[in-house]
């Protein structure tokens, strides 16, 4: 039987938040969006660029972006008539830390 390793750097009150983030990344389209935005760095990309990458209807893209935002994986900002999305690097680092602390 494998024993569970303690996670001293992890705050147990954030387990639900992290769980929601992993769930959001469990969908292939959302994972594709997330990976695309990671490549865009701190500047992110506008929704039109994201749409061109995943080639899905506007309403479906909006739903996926909302799910990623609610999971605290993305930030979005409006600049005139454009909406720009970028990855929440703090949350991403936390998720990587969780995975590497567990292995």
Contact 82, 44 (CB under 8 A): no
pTM for the model:
0.85
Residue 5 domain-assigned (yes or no): no
| Total structural domains within the chain | 1
Q: List pLDDT tens digits, range 72-102.
A: 999 999 999 999 999 999 999 999 988 887 6
- Per DSSP, the three-state class of 14 is helix
Supply the Cα-derived Rg of the chain in whole angstroms: 15
> Which range of residues forms the domain containing residue 82?
14-102
Asked if residue 2 is part of any domain, the answer here is no
- CB of 64 within 8 A of CB of 57? no
CATH number at residue 54: 1.10.10.10
Report d(CA 53, CA 79) in Å as an integer: 21
Residue 79's DSSP bridge partners are: 82
d(CA 42, CA 77): 12
Q: Per residue in 14-31, pLDDT tens?
A: 888 999 999 999 999 999
- The verdict on residue 32 lying in a domain is yes
87 domain residue, yes or no: yes
Average pLDDT rounded to a whole number, residues 54-59: 94
In a domain, 1, yes or no: no
Query: 41: which 2 tokens?
Result: 């760095």
């Amino acid at each position: 039987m494998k024993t569970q390793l303690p996670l001293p750097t992890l705050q147990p009150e954030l387990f639900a938040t992290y769980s929601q983030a992993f769930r959001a990344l469990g969908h292939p389209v959302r994972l594709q969006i997330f990976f695309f935005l990671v490549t865009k760095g701190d500047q992110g990309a506008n929704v039109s660029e994201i749409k061109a990458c995943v080639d899905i209807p506007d309403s479906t893209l909006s739903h996926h972006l909302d799910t990623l935002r609610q999971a605290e994986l993305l930030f979005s900002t409006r600049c005139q008539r454009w909406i720009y999305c970028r990855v929440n690097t703090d949350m991403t680092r936390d998720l990587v830390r969780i995975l590497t602390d567990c292995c």
